[in-house]
Amino acid sequence: MSLSSVRPLARQILDGLGYSEWTDGFNSENIPSTILDGTYFLNIGSISASAANQATHEFDYPLEIRLFFKGYRDPREAIDAAVSQSDNIIGGFLTESVRLTQEIRDITLTSLNFEPLDASNDNSIIVVFNFSFKILNCY
């Protein structure tokens, strides 16, 4: 798997679960409120090399996924719904057939946070997943 394969894999998993990508390259703040619910944003962290030999190189590839849930009647209800949806997403990435291949040595969930959309809107939730992909690449 090349470095350029991680984001398409994430899209495949998330789109398959019924979510839609916000395709702005770097800004997750400008998603229109009309499409906020069920929209995700992908952000690449700092990729680092972790091991190498004569034939292969291993990389740690952090991927942040920001998933937006819009407008519940109260924050508690929004958080409960977001936690429930998070289980499906985590399962999509951590299933053995996805995370243990010849090229992907592992995928781990390094953190999961639930945040309000902003200080004045705590009925909409942003779920922030941080996954780390361990990728084996031959050059």
Residue 49: give the domain boundaries: 3-138
Residues of the chain scoring pLDDT < 50: none
Question: d(Cα 108, Cα 102) in Å, to the nearest integer?
Answer: 16
Opening angle at CA 118, ends 116 and 120, nearest 5: 105
% of residues, the chain, pLDDT over 70 = 81
How far apart (Å, rounded) are the C-alpha atoms in residues 99 and 109?
A: 11
- DSSP alpha helix (H) spans, the chain: 6-16, 75-94, 96-99
| pLDDT score at 2 | 73
Q: What is the pTM of this model?
A: 0.84
Q: Could you give the number of structural domains in the chain?
A: 1
User: Tens digit of pLDDT for each residue in 17-49?
Assistant: 999 887 665 555 555 555 567 889 899 999 988
Q: Which residue has the tokens 């398409």?
A: 8
Strand partners, 122: none
Question: What number of other Cβ atoms are within 10 A of residue 25's Cβ?
Answer: 6
Please report the pLDDT score of residue 29 as a whole number. Answer: 59
Give the CATH number of the domain where residue 108 resides: 3.30.2000.10
Q: Give the pLDDT confidence score for residue 76 in this predicted structure.
A: 79
SS3 98: helix
The pLDDT, as a whole number, for residue 30 is 53
